[in-house]
Structure formats: structure tokens, C-alpha cells
Structure 1
Amino acid sequence: MSCPTPRSRVLHADWFDWRSSATRDFVALFGAVVLASILLHVYEVGPLLFQLGRSYADSALDDIMFTIFVALFLCVALTIFSVRRYRDLARETKARAILEGETRDLARHDPMTGLPNRRLFDENLTACLGLARDTHQVAVLLLGLDGFKRIKDTHGHAAEDKALCEFANRVANILRKDGILARIGGDEFGIVLPDISSLEVPTNLARRIVASATDTFAVETGAAELGVGIGIAIAPIDGDNLQELVRRAERALYRAQRDGRSCVRFFEPEMDIHVERRIQIERELRSAITADIIEPHYQPLVSLQSNCIIGFEALARWENRTLGRIPPDVFIPIAEETGLISALGDQLFRRACSDAIAWPETFTLAFNISPIQLRDPALGQRILSILGQTGFSPRRLEIEITESAFVERTGVAKTVIDVLRQAGVRIALDDFGTGYATLSQLLSFRLDKIKIDRSFVSQLDDSTESRVIVHAILGLAKGLGLTTTAEGVEDACQLGFLVANGCTEGQGYLFSDAVPTAGIRALLNRESGSTTVAEDGTPILHA
């Protein structure tokens, strides 16, 4: 879709403008009078005319003819001037009207795609809602693109704009004639379907939109992929005014995006309850960060060769007086979405470093860094500053990053990691095998450890595919000289497979759940005398 180019015009509202024909006529008339005066003065025609006038003074007819001639001359001149001036004013008025129309049009359209913007979308939706009845329903579809920011980070702004316009074209070609498509945000689109006969109409449209987005988008630097989440609300069932209907379509879109890539969800009443709870969690989270009451708990990292604890991973835990225990997979994403993750991360890291000073000097501290935090170029220096303030050695620190960090501002993330590595900090790749990382990225980021995702470890007992994948990961890590940690180890059979295939470390409920700082001493005291032996002779440390 090409970007519309507004026509520019220069209006000459001031009739003294030299470019105006009326001005030129006026100047010409004035110049003729001045020239005639000069000629009369230079050639002394004035006295001659005066003498001729006296000789015919007695002739009333000549006086009348002279007066008529002057009057006619002035009338013709003024008529010509007025007609030319009227034509100029007419052209200027028409041009002004066109320009004002274009200005109003631009104020209601997106300059990138040429589609209606949020303002015109709201106007059209309000008009459609005015006609909505029980038998005359209106559907609102909100579309949110998945992977849009990834295109910008990977291919640049030009590719992002091209993919956006191409997506808008695809949807416009699918949409029925009375449907209204608008771009209402950076990567969000809105559709109004007036007078739908059944819920199958928006459902079928949503499915076709999702299918159209599965085809790759050609950009100059290669091919880009997009997904699209769609939330749908129906008037008057889900609301009979603009604000209520759009709000509920947004909540359906939020659920669609949380449920996975390219999902379609209709609004359901329980979504309101879910969103209200999220708003409450966000409010309580801000207060908790201000009061510094979210604390780290520590899950042991166990050497599978010596069956000894060699360190701990810090995991955030939050107990709220009103909401109770809130899992980290609930409040961490909210912290990321609301921009609170940096403050929360710094607080937890500072407390973890202070706690870890009391551990044996050989123990390591593993700490997770969010991909959102890795967008901050100053993160590396801030981590080193906290290490210096708490006195914790960088060589005992292990920073864990997820594979998604590879595709979000890779240059910034690599710079942060390089700063930390130069100080002696080890870097571990968390949740390996979930689909983002490539071998070239593993090499370019200079990792020290790979953590095998718990989704593979949990299926080792009954899934041949999981065993093949884990075996391949362990072989790859060994070939690259990387340490490996298996997450989510819960039984002796899983442990036996990991040991037999050369896994370096283990972590999971089989060894211990995460414990607060006060529970670490009891865990270490229990370590030496509470082991049993698995079928293959491997000692097992119990919680």
C-alpha cells in the first residue's frame, strides 16, 4: 500500500500579491494613468488641450461627449478589474476548500498505510452503534501483530513499514465492502463490521486474517514473519457504546495474545474479572517495589558427579497481604509490561548478593535477567556497581538469560554480556531448546552454560522424542565445552538418564524447592547425611 502524498497549494488570499492577475490589472491601470500624466507634462499637451477646451466651451454637446467617454472608460476598466478579481477569488476559495478537505482527511487517516486512524474509526463505530439493535449487531475486531518489533530489530525500520503496509493490504483485500479497517496504534488495527447476521461472520473473517498473516512478508533484507492475535466484541451484547465495546474487545485481544501466537478470542464476562485482578496486582506491585518486600528464595544447584550443592539460583517470591502468594510467572510479566522490571531486578539482585556473601566461597549465585532488562545498555555497569557495593565477587556470579534475548536488540544484549564477561561473570542460557537460539548465536554470545528446559526433562520417562532432544543437547554442549544444567528434575529415573548422558548439574524438586535465606543453613546441614542411592548407584540428595 503506497503512502498517500497530500497535494500542496499556495493560496493568494491577499489581492496585492504580485502573482494575482487582479493585482496586475490594477498596476497596469495605475501605470497607464501615470504614463499619460508624464506625456502630458513632457510634451506640454496640457495647455493645448486647455486652449482647445476653451474654443469649444460653448459647445454643450462636446462637453457631454467628453464626460460620457471618460465615464465609459472608467466603467470598462472597473468592470475588467472586478471580473478578474472575482475569478481570482473564486479560484482561491475553491483551492482553500480543497485544502481544508485534505487537511480534515489527513487528520482522520494514517499517513503510513492510508487507512482511517483511531479518530475516524471511533466516528464510524459510533455511527454504526446508533443503528445497532438485537437483530442488527455490530462486530468490533481488534488486531495485534505478533513479532512486529522483532522485524524492526532484525531488519530495520524500512522493513517494519513495508511489512505493516503489506499486512494492511492483505486484510483490506479480505474485508467485505461495508467493513471498516483502521490503524489505531503502532502495531494494532481495528475492524468494524456493521449489521452482522451471526457470530460466524466475524469468526470466518478472523480465521482468514490469521491465515493471511502466516505467509512470510518480503523485505529487502530477506523474509519476515508475523502473527496476529484478534479480540472480538459484539454490540449490543457486549456493550452499546464506543468506550465499553472497545474496552471489551481490548480485553479479548489481551487474552488472545496471552494464549499463544495467532489466537482469536471473543469477549467473555470473566475477562473483566481477570483484567481487574491484573490492575490490582499492578497497583500492589508498585507498592511492593517501593517498600522492597519482594524477596529472593534460593533453589540449590547440584553437581551430578559429586552430588553436592555447588550454588543457588535466586527466584523471586512475593507474599501479598491482600492477594496472598502471587507466582512469579504472574507478576514478572506485569513488571515487564509496566516498566517496573528494572527497579524490581535491581532490588532482588542487591538482596541476593548480600545474602550470598554468607555462603561458602565456592558457591555460585545464579540470577535471571529479563530480555526487557537486556535492552538497557547501562545494565552491565549497574550489575558491576551492585557487586562492588555488596562485596560479592563477579567470578561467583552466573547471569541467566533466555533465548528470546537473542532476537531483542541483539547488539545491546551482546554489549551488556561482553561487559559482564570481561569482569569474570559467567553467562548461562536458560530454557534452551524453546525455539529461538541458533548455533551461530550460541557462538557469538560466548556462553558458559546451557540450561535444559524443564519441558524436556519432565518427559524423559515416557517420551522418546524428549530423550533424543536431551541427548542431542548434551552432546552439543560437550562439543562446545559448555556446562549443562537440567531444570525440573523430579524423580530418580530422570536423574539416571541425565547422569548417564553426561549432564553436569541438576536442579529441581528431587533435590529441593526454593527456600528463603534462613532455610539455606538447614539445607546444607542436611546435605551430608541424607542421601540414598538410585538403581544405577547414583547418590540422590533429598529435600
Structure 2
Amino acid sequence: MDTALNDIVFIIFVAFFLCAALTIFSVRRYRDLARETKARAIAEREARDLVRHDPLTGLPNRGLFDEKLDACLGLARDKHQVAVLLLGLDGFKRIKDTHGHAAEDKALCEFANRVADILRKDGVLARIGNDEFGIVLPAISSLEVPANLAHRIVASATETFAIETGAAELGVGIGIAIAPIDGVNLHELVRRAERALYRAQGDSRSRVRFFEPEMDMHVERRTQIERELRSAITADIIEPYYQPLVSLKGNCIIGFEALARWENRTLGRIPPDVFIPIAEETGLINALGDQLFRRACFDANAWPEAFTLAFNISPIQLRDLSLGQRILSILGQTGFSPRRLEIEITESAFVEKTGVAKTVIDVLRQAGVRIALDDFGTGYATLSQLLSFRLDKIKIDRSFVSHLNDSADSRVIVRAILGLAKGFGLTTTAEGVEDAGQLDFLVANGCTEGQGYMFSDAVPAAGINALLNRESGRTTVAEDGTRSLHA
């Protein structure tokens, strides 16, 4: 009996011990699970937070910007105005190309810090693109609030940015849309702020623009032009016209510059300064450039062998390492001699991926192609950059030539350019020659060539023979095939 009782007591004790151990284990396990759950929740929250922020600047990214804007719009329905500002940096890419990625990152962070210092406490600043920022200003009292902020941001950006290799400059364009004036939902407001930004950046460096209803019409037309441009390239209906290049010493035509012309059945005649930038922005410029160049080479084969063909290459095309080989390939396909070709580039090509541009130009020069610098004096290339490229010709921009008769400053600038070119043994072409006074000045100061309405406007390929054989007797044929002008 005692043995049985002892067994029962022992069993009860063991059971109690096991229950206590199990309880302790459960409590500890519960605490561990609670800690794990809390740690997991913190990690998930931090992960979500990281996903919603820009890793470089620490600012909210596009997703969080949209959330905060949507929340502000929800709170302000019919009560307060909300401003959306979109900031687009100008010169950001140039810093990267010139000074490298580290300098680019440092300048971007510095810009973000400057804006954050200016922004009021209830404002939201976000990095919404590589070189774009967005700001939400809730409950604004008047349009002067976002306008004043925008102009303070522009002023802050004009101060140079210190980087390890020196100093860099940035400009900023700002587009502003207001709720509910310009829209009541997120997507509508952002779209209209983008359109205002597009116009601000198109006006000039560092501008501020509020959205205006006509901007919608402007963007719709641009969209239509882009659509028609794609079709025109597919159908090969954009054609080169040709403007004479005239030797001022021999008073004769020595070649032609190819200029793109586009007549659209719906939109009418679209100027090249409208459709060429669109082709560059949409990535169509290489297809369009190759197409026009091929047609120009075929046309130029019909000219006297002494005539040269000048063809413009945009800075966007010069970013492509394959450009040089494509040009040489087209020359081979068309049978046009590279020694009759002049490729015209602008100063901006010297600061955008200079190494790529130099490689392309070296390939062309080795094949015998001449290189001309177009619109000289209007860009921002340094003299050392110009000298690093082996140029054959400098083209004096029409903005200087047009004021030769009435501006002493223009005459000084043109004389300086001509002197510089002579010192380096370069040919010079004056663009936009329109009257005898300009021509006399250019000839007297040693300009080599001229181009402009005084000699002829651009004509289609079919009109070149008529140009060379005008019934008025203004042209005669020399022994070498060139045409002398008797204007």
C-alpha cells in the first residue's frame, strides 16, 4: 500500500515538474516568438521604408511621393490648394561626363540638401528620377507661395557646387501645377506639372513655369509630330535640300550643305528646329541621319567632282561609337568619295562624351573626311577642347554675321575668329550672308567661304541644275567644274 502511494506521489511530482517545465518552455518560446515577430516587423518596416526612399539622397522616391501627394489631395478636397513642383536639373549629365559618377552623386546630394533647407516643414521633397525632384506643398494660401519657393531654388542652384576635381554648375527648370485649378487627382496634376517643366526647360536655363491650358495643346501637337515623324522615317519622305557653299576668293560655288526638309500632308511644313530635337529625344535621330546621309550621297554623285557635300551630325549621334563605321559604310554603298565629304559638328559635341566623339572623328579623318565646327562661338567648349580635335574648318554663326553692318562688337568678334582660324590654318565659312555690306567685310578680313540667302536658299536635288544654270547669267562654268557667281 505504501509502495503504491509512493508511486502515485512520484507520478504526480513528475507530472507537476513536466507541466512546470512545459509552462516555462512555452513562456520562453512565446517571448522568443514575440521578439522574433517584433524584429521581423521592424525589419519588414525598414525594408518597406528603404524601398520607398532613394538610397543616395535618403529622400522619398516616386512611389512614396505619389502616396503623400494623394494623401494631401484627399485632405484638401474643396478646402485648400495644393501645389506640385517638378524640378529638372540642367547640366547634371555634363558633370558626370566631365568629372565622373562620384562628382555627379556629390552635386546631386548637395542640391537636395539646399532644397531641403529652403523647404517649409510641411512640404514633401522627393527624388523621382535620375535628375528630377518633386515637391508637394499642402494648404498653400496663394500662388506666390510656390512661386517664391521655386525662385529661391533657382537662385540656390546658381551657386557653384564644390566637387573633388573643382567646381561644377547646375541649372534647374521648375514646372508647377495647382490643385484644384489644374486638376484634382494625382496623375492629372503630375502630368500637367511635367508639361510646365517641359516648357520651363525649353525656354532657357533655370526658368519657372506654371501650367497653362495651352500647354496641353503644345504637348498634343508634339505627340502628333512624333507619331508622324516615325511614319515619315519609315516611308523615307524627309528629304535633303542643298544650300550652296561659295568660295569668296574665287566667287564660285564649291559645294553644297545638305539640310533636312519635311513637308507633312496633315501638319504642313515642319521646320528642322522642331522635328530634329524630337528625333533626338525619341532615339530616332540615328535612323533619320543615316537615311538622309544616304540620299545626299546619291544626289551628290551627280554633281561635278570638284563639289563637296557638307552634312551635319548632332551631338546625340556622336555618342554612338558605331557612327564612324556607319558613315564609311554608306560612302562605300553609294560610291561617294570620303574626300568630298565634310562632316559638321557643334561645340556641344566636345563636352558630351568627348572620348566617344573623338574616336568617331578620328575614324572619319583617317578615311579622308574633313571636319567642320558649326556655329562657332555660340557653345561652351574651351579652346583646349577645340584644339584636341583636328578640325579643318570653322563656321561663323549667322548671329554674328547678321549684325556686321550695325554692331562694332560683332565685327570685333568675327575679326577675332578669322584671325584665330588663320593662325591655325583653318578654312572659314560665314553663315547667313545676306547683303553686299556683310560680304565686303568678310572678304576684306580674309573669310574663305560664304553661305546664305545672298547666294541662294536651299533647293531640292532636282533644282540644283537650275541653280547652276540660271537664265539671268549669274553663273558661268569654270574649267574645273565650279560655277562662278556674278551677284
Coarse TM-score class (shorter-chain normalised) = over 0.9
Answer whether contact 1:132 1:236 (CA < 8 A) is retained: no
Q: Per-residue deviation at 1:62?
A: 2.9
Q: 1:377 aligns with which of 314, 317, 321?
A: 321
Q: What are the within-5 Å matches in structure 2 for residues 204-283 of structure 1? A: 204-283=148-227
- Greater relative contact order: 1 or 2 (C-alpha under 8 angstroms, separation 6 or more)? 2
The residue number in structure 1 matching 2:478 is none
Does the CA contact (< 8 Å) of 1:403 and 1:436 recur in 2? yes
Q: How far is 1:528 from its partner?
A: 8.9
Matched, 1:456 2:400: yes
Q: Could you tell me how far apart the structure 1 residues matched to 2:343 and 2:226 are?
A: 26
Deviations 1:86-113 (A, max 9, x none): 2211110110110111122122111111
Match of 1:517 in 2: 461
SS at match of 2:469: helix
Contact 1:230 1:264 in 2 (8 A): yes
Q: Deviations for 1:356-404, whole angstroms, at most 9, x for unmatched residues? A: 0111111100000011100110100110010011110000000000000
2:252–2:485 Cα contact (<8 Å) kept:
no
Secondary structure of 2:75's counterpart equals coil
Native 8 Å contact 1:450 1:485 kept in 2: yes
Query: How much has 1:148 moved relative to structure 2?
Result: 1.0
Aligned Cα root-mean-square deviation (Å): 1.5
Q: Deviations over 1:489-537 (max 9, x none)?
A: 1111111111111110000111110001111111111399328xxxxxx
Question: What is the DSSP-based 3-state SS (H/G/I as helix, E as strand, rest coil) of the residue aligned with 2:403?
Answer: coil
Structure 1 CA distance, aligned partners of 2:300 and 2:261?
17
Q: Decide whether the 8 Å contact of 2:392 with 2:426 is kept in 1.
A: yes
Contact 2:350 2:386 in 1 (8 A): no
2:11, 2:323 → 1: CA distance? 94
Partner residue in 2 for 1:28: none
Cα 1:129–1:58 change in 2 (3 A) is: closer
What do the CA deviations read for 1:422-458 (whole angstroms, capped 9, x no partner)? Answer: 0000000001001322111121110000001111111
Structure 1 unmatched runs, 5+: 1-56, 532-538
Identity of aligned residues (%): 88
Aligned match for 1:443, one of 387, 401, 404: 387
Q: Pick from 6, 9, 16: which aligns with 1:65? A: 9
Partners of 1:527 and 1:541 within 8 A in 2:
no
Please tell me the residue identity of whatever aligns with 1:429.
L
Aligned-pair CA distance for 1:165:
1.1
Superposed displacement of residue 228, structure 1: 0.4
Q: 2:114: which partner in 1?
A: 170
Deviation at 1:71, TM superposition (A): 2.5
Amino acid at match of 1:498: L
Cα distance, 1:119 vs. partner?
Answer: 0.8
Equivalent of 1:304 in 231, 239, 248: 248
Q: 1:359 is matched by which residue type in structure 2?
A: W
Partner of 1:157: 101
User: Paired residue for 2:124?
Assistant: 180
Larger Rg: 1
SS class of match (1:195): strand
Q: How many residue pairs align between the two structures?
A: 479
What is the rounded CA distance, in whole Å, between the counterparts of 2:25 and 2:356 in structure 1? Answer: 69
1:243 CA drift (Å): 1.1
- The 2-side partners of 1:333 and 1:272 are apart by 19
State the AA in 2 paired with 1:67.
I
Match for residue 403 of structure 1?
347
Distance change in 2, residues 1:541/1:86 (3 Å): farther
Name the SS of the counterpart of 2:368 in structure 1.
Answer: coil
- SS class of match (1:428): strand
Q: Which residue of 2 aligns with 1:137?
A: 81
Q: In 2, distance between residues paired with 1:371 and 1:439?
A: 18
Gaps of 5+ in 2: 476-483
Residue pair 2:401, 2:432 contacting (<8 A) in 1 also: yes
In 2, are the aligned partners of 1:117 and 1:183 still within 8 Å (CA)? Answer: yes
Q: Deviations over 1:128-161 (max 9, x none)?
A: 1123355510110000000111111111111111
What SS is found at the alignment partner of 2:56? coil
Of 36, 49, 62, the match for 1:92: 36
Cα pair 1:163 1:218 within 8 Å, conserved = yes
